[in-house]
Amino acid sequence: MSRSQRRIAQFFVAILGTVLIAAVPSPAGLSATGQYAIATMFFAGFLWVTGALPLAVTALTIPVLLTGTGVYDDMDVALSGFADHLIFLFLAGFMLANAIQKYNIDRRIALYAMATMGSSPRRLILAVMLVTAGLSMWVSNTATTAMMTPIAVGVLAQVLDRDELASAQQAAAHSTDAKTASDGGTAEAVDEFTNIQIGMLLGTAYAASVGGVGTIIGTPPNAILVGQLNAVLDYEIGFVDWFLIGLPVVVVTLPLVWFLLTYVLYPPRVPDVAEARVAARAELEEEGALGSRGKRVAAIFAVTAGLWVLGGLGEFFEPYLSSVWLTTLFGGDGMTVFGVEGHQGLLYYVLVGVAAVPALVLADTMEWDELVDIDWGTLLLFGGGISLANGLADTGATEWIAETFFGGLVGAPIVLVIGSVILLVIFLTEMTSNAATTSIIVPILISLGSVFSATLGLTDFSTALFLAVAGTIAASFAFALPVATPPNAIVFGSGYLKQRHMLRTGLILNGIMTAVLTAIIWLLFTFVWPHMLW
């Protein structure tokens, strides 16, 4: 069956399943419009999972179905998700990333870190992972991995014999019967792959996924969550709020992933990496000094990031600013310096991000054609996900799903509830992209607030917020399959490792990270989040 025939067959199955779900008698407690919203969720979810259509194209079908089935009687409402403010935050983030990459600022940071830190094989891998994670907090993890993978391969070429590296790539592309040897609990393909090669490339992908958890703009699932919380609960997580949630997760899990890769699974057996450090220094020198335009980009990015953080610290400035200036800068219902009542705040993080785009043009650093070369498909996916969440919430469908499928966990220990959510999301994310998984599962997790509020001892709102955040974090920790996340797909597509390496390592890390994330999220939930999110 050709690709076109397979796509048509999958689309037909999606249509058939959607019609069947919409046509069966409505279950007790579910309205007709709610049933149509669930049918829409099936249609979009099936196409997202199978990849019959590009993710963004599938997202565009959501408002069509929501309006066509009568869930909404006005298509303007069905399309409102595509104008969500978080989409414009990511738009600005993508454009800032383009400017950083145009002047090789990210590459300079990577080369500097490897030249400075890479004094041993393990420290070299750590340097690559730290830079990758750090960049992924501010630049999309897809773009970061695409930039870091060639650098990692270049480092390996200095550490390993170039012929050995080339033969490994050829083996990864063509060999189907390679055997895996065991030596003291480590795994390494005989005569094909080296531990440092596997550890370096997997470390790059995993660090990009983990680092993306750190900020709202780090990975699409974060923004999908924030947008849906705003749409469904009318609650907004600020930039600093998320930073205080995501950064502890990154700080704990990134070193753990590095330790497991380099000490347990793939201990590097290369005695000397001096040539790699020398090569990194040489490439850094070839880059030369950052030009004036590059410096202006770096300054704009630094100011933008600083204002993002500053905008979430309004309560610390409250004793020192008049109410007028406090409202003007940080938002509120009071009078502003402009003589009007009510303001979102000049330091509102979306406003700051969008303002950075004209700043790049005014600073003579970017042209419009360079700015618009971004991942528009991801922005459409955000919009479709928010529209779907709105449709499910407005019709009561998510509440029905939550009570029907998760009611059995009511009364279970809190750790079991958290662990079940994390394990479910990681499993689902292995099957499809983390962005698509988050678009489907977050509305359901939000609706679980009313189901588990008594179990967790919180209000419905707080429980919904807690479970949705936990599930979203878990969406970035699917490590076993290339399809799970773009970073996984990029390093697998480099041809320098095989799927069995990722599958074996990923399954082990998935199990460990389920337990670790459960513990971290429970600790944050107990000691940190109650003081900042509700």
Instruction: For residue 245, tell me if it sits in a domain.
Output: yes
Q: Which helix (H) or strand (E) holds 470?
A: helix 460-474
Distance set, CA 270 to CA 146, 156, 191, 206, 267 (Å): 25, 11, 15, 22, 9
d(CA 352, CA 92): 9
Quote the CA–CA distance of 442 and 233 in Å, as a whole number: 12
DSSP summary character for residue 72 = -
Q: Do the beta carbons of residue 313 and residue 243 sit within 8 Å? A: no
Q: Across the strands, what pairs with 221?
A: none
Residue 344 belongs to what domain range?
A: 294-371
> What is the sign of the dihedral through the CA atoms of 184, 186, 192 and 193?
negative
In a domain, 196, yes or no: yes
148 near 125, Cβ under 8 Å? no
Task: Give the dihedral sign, CA 237/240/244/250.
Answer: positive
One domain for residues 51 and 100:
no
Asked which of 322, 350, 371 is the last residue of a domain, the reply is 371
Residue pair 293/246 in contact (Cβ under 8 Å)? The answer is no
Instruction: Based on the fold, state whether residues 340 and 273 are members of the same structural domain.
Output: no
Backbone angles phi, psi at 322, to 5 degrees: -65, 160
User: In the predicted model, what is the mean pLDDT of the chain?
Assistant: 84
Instruction: List Cβ neighbours of 358 (8 Å cut-off, separation of 6 or more).
Output: none
Please identify, among 257, 289, 321, the residue that sits at the C-terminal boundary of a domain. 289
If asked whether residues 53 and 97 sit together in one domain, one would say no
Element (H, E) at 317: helix 314-317
In this structure, are 131 and 64 located in the same domain?
no
Measured CA to CA, the distance from residue 187 to residue 184 in angstroms comes to 9
Residue 427 within a domain: no
d(CA 142, CA 144): 5
Let me know whether 105 and 21 are in one domain. no
Instruction: For 328-351, write each residue's pLDDT tens digit.
Output: 998 888 899 998 998 888 998 889
Gap between the Cα atoms of 259 and 253, Å rounded: 10
398: its two tokens: 């998510």
Residue 339 included in any domain = yes
The backbone region for 74, taken as left when phi is positive above 0, alpha when psi lies in -120 to 50, beta otherwise, is beta
Q: What pLDDT is attached to residue 169?
A: 54
Same domain for 202 and 348?
Answer: no
Q: Can you tell me the distance from the alpha carbon of 140 to that of 158, in angstroms, rounded to the nearest whole number?
A: 28
CA distances 410 to 94, 416, 424, Å, are 41, 10, 16
Contact 486, 141 (CB under 8 A): yes
Category of 288 on φ-ψ map: left (φ > 0), alpha (ψ -120 to 50) or beta: left
Instruction: Quote the tokens at residue 521.
Output: 């999220």
Within a domain: residue 276? yes
Return the HEC string of 389-425.
HHHHHHCCHHHHHHHHHHHHHCCCCHHHHHHHHHHHH
325, part of any domain: yes
Helix, strand, coil abundance in the chain, percent, nearest 5: 75, 5, 25
Quote the number of domains for the chain. 3
* Nearest alpha-carbon partner for 376 in 57, 40, 53: 57
The span from the CA of 169 to the CA of 495, in Å, is: 5
By the 10 Å C-beta count (0-12 exposed, 13-18 middle, 19+ buried), 431 is classed as middle
- Most distant pair of Cα atoms in the chain: their distance: 74
C-alpha torsion angle, residues 349, 375, 287, 156 (rounded to 10): 110
The verdict on pTM exceeding 0.85 is no
Helices (H) and strands (E) in the chain, counts: 26, 4
Mark whether 168 and 285 lie in a shared domain: yes
Does residue 343 share a domain with residue 359?
yes
Give the C-alpha separation, 476 to 213, whole Å: 7
Q: 247 and 350 in one domain?
A: no
In terms of domains, do 303 and 349 share one? yes
The answer to whether position 494 is within a domain reads no
Contacts of residue 151, defined as CB under 8 A and 6 or more positions apart, other chains included, come to 107, 110, 111, 114, 128
Assess whether 71 and 99 both reside in one domain. no
Cβ within 8 Å of residue 449, ≥6 positions away: 459, 460, 461, 462, 463, 464, 465, 467
- State pLDDT tens for residues 139-178: 878 878 888 888 888 777 777 655 455 555 555 555 444 4
Per DSSP, what are the bridge partners of residue 341?
335
pLDDT, tens digit only, all 534 positions of the chain? 777 888 899 999 999 999 999 999 988 888 999 999 999 989 988 888 788 888 889 989 999 999 999 999 999 999 988 888 878 888 888 888 889 888 988 888 888 887 887 778 898 899 999 999 999 998 878 878 888 888 888 777 777 655 455 555 555 555 444 443 344 444 343 346 788 889 999 999 999 999 999 998 888 889 889 888 887 888 888 888 888 889 999 999 999 999 999 999 999 887 777 777 788 888 888 888 889 999 999 999 899 988 988 888 888 888 888 999 999 998 888 899 998 998 888 998 889 989 999 999 999 999 988 998 887 887 888 788 888 888 888 888 877 877 777 777 777 787 888 888 898 888 888 877 788 788 888 888 888 887 778 777 778 888 888 889 999 999 999 898 887 788 888 888 877 788 888 888 999 999 999 999 999 988 887 777 766 555
Residue 83 is predicted with a pLDDT of 84
Last residue of a domain, one of 235, 260, 289: 289
What are the φ/ψ torsions at residue 533 (nearest 5 degrees)?
-105, -20
Question: Do both 34 and 171 map to the same domain?
Answer: no
pLDDT score recorded for residue 24? 92
Q: Identify the residue whose tokens are 């249509």.
A: 15
| Beta-ladder partners of 335 | 341
Residue 254 domain flag: yes
- Amino acid at the residue 430: E
Q: Which two tokens stand for residue 447?
A: 């609706």
